[in-house]
Amino acid sequence: MATQEIYIRNASETEARGPFSIQQVADLAEAGQVTQETLVYDAETEQWRTIADQAELLAQVFPEKKKHTLKKAEFKSLNKPQENAKEISVQDMLAAAEGRTADTKGKADPEIAMARAARIGMIGAIVTCAIAAVAEILPSADVLNGFTPGKLLDHPLLALGAIDVILAVFLALGMASFYPVVRFRAALGLGLLGFMFYAQGLSGALGAVVLGSTGLYICTVAVSILPAMLAAAAGVVGMGLLAWQLLGH
């Protein structure tokens, strides 16, 4: 196109706009006010022609934009594959967490060990309370016929046995929130029964109460497997000996 003065109009318009330079028309196109179907007056032919029909003008007003693409980065792994490497399974990972492999032996996850200790302590406390309830209730079973609350003063073992039954049931349901009550019961049993057996000169029963109550208490606070196992054993053995003593064997 010879002239740099450009007049434009839309097909639906009768009035022309201009004159514009090519750069101004390109700016209007960038702003969306000029399209390839916009009419441009061609002074040489004295006709209105669309920008799309004029290749040179089209290239200047609507220059082809370069597409920018991101080059894919190449990452190299720092981990070099080892020959004869054994594939790791889920069982291997669990065994490693529990310290049951050659590489992790003695390095078990402390949370897993604590959970196992808590489980052992819970079972030990349940069995200890159950045996204690038997030892405390059976010797006075005949009192249950025609029982009145006033008789508890004469037979405190019945009250303690009832408490042990309730605690054993709640612990069997997994209610560890009762541990403070269990610890209080262990201290109460040690003090009450210990004094009673000491006053009566029953050294065997006294030793059984001390062993069983101590084991019961530690069952609720042990966080390691070995102390939990020892506490559970002490509680069960102690209350078992108490039952043996009180039942007259």
Query: Which residues, other chains included, contact 99 with Cβ-Cβ below 8 Å and sequence gap of 6+?
Result: 105, 106, 107, 108, 109
Residues 21 and 114 in one domain: no
Q: Place 172 in a pLDDT band, splitting at 50, 70 and 90.
A: very high
100 pLDDT exceeds 70?
no
Residues 46 and 127 in one domain: no
Report if residue 54 sits inside a domain: yes
* Residue 162 burial (C-beta neighbours within 10 Å; 0-12, 13-18, 19+): middle
Mean pLDDT of 5-10: 84
Report if residue 214 sits inside a domain: yes
Residues 135 and 228 in one domain: yes
Q: Place 230 in a pLDDT band, splitting at 50, 70 and 90.
A: very high
Residues 45 and 130 in one domain: no
Query: Which residues, other chains included, contact 11 with Cβ-Cβ below 8 Å and sequence gap of 6+?
Result: 37, 39
Whole-angstrom Cα Rg for the chain: 46
Report if residue 39 sits inside a domain: yes
Return d(Cα 144, Cα 90) in angstroms, integer: 56
* Percent of the chain predicted with pLDDT > 70: 73
CA distances 195 to 100, 157, 222, Å, are 47, 13, 27
Report if residue 219 sits inside a domain: yes
Cβ 164 vs Cβ 185: under 8 Å = yes
Residues 195 and 128 in one domain: yes
204 pLDDT exceeds 70?
yes
Per DSSP, helices labelled H in the chain are 22-30, 55-61, 90-97, 110-137, 156-172, 179-200, 203-219, 225-246
Task: Show which of 40, 61, 82 is a domain's final residue.
Answer: 61
Q: Place 181 in a pLDDT band, splitting at 50, 70 and 90.
A: very high
| Among 158, 161, 209, residue whose Cα is nearest residue 187 | 209
Residues 132 and 16 in one domain: no
pLDDT in tens, 27-61: 888 888 888 888 888 878 888 888 888 888 888 88
Q: What is the dihedral of CA 135, 141, 144, 148, to 10 degrees?
A: -60
Residue 232 identity = A
Q: Is 18 helix (H, G, I), strand (E, B) or coil?
A: strand
Report if residue 51 sits inside a domain: yes
Mean pLDDT of 188-201: 86
90 pLDDT exceeds 70?
no
Return d(Cα 221, Cα 174) in angstroms, integer: 15
217 pLDDT exceeds 90?
yes
Mean pLDDT of 61-73: 68
pLDDT in tens, 118-165: 899 999 999 999 998 888 888 776 666 655 555 555 667 778 888 889
Task: Show which of 20, 37, 61 is a domain's final residue.
Answer: 61
Mean pLDDT score of the chain:
80
Q: In this predicted model, which residue has the larger pLDDT, 234 or 94? A: 234
State the pLDDT at residue 228: 92
Residues 56 and 125 in one domain: no
1 pLDDT exceeds 50?
no
State the pLDDT at residue 154: 61
Report if residue 182 sits inside a domain: yes
Query: Which residues, other chains included, contact 191 with Cβ-Cβ below 8 Å and sequence gap of 6+?
Result: none
Residue with tokens 């939990």: 228
Residue 123 identity = I
Structural domain boundaries, residue 215: 110-143+152-246
Report if residue 105 sits inside a domain: no
- Tell me the CATH number at 47: 3.30.1490
Report if residue 91 sits inside a domain: no
CA distances 178 to 126, 156, 167, 168, 210, Å, are 12, 22, 8, 10, 21
Domain count, the chain: 2
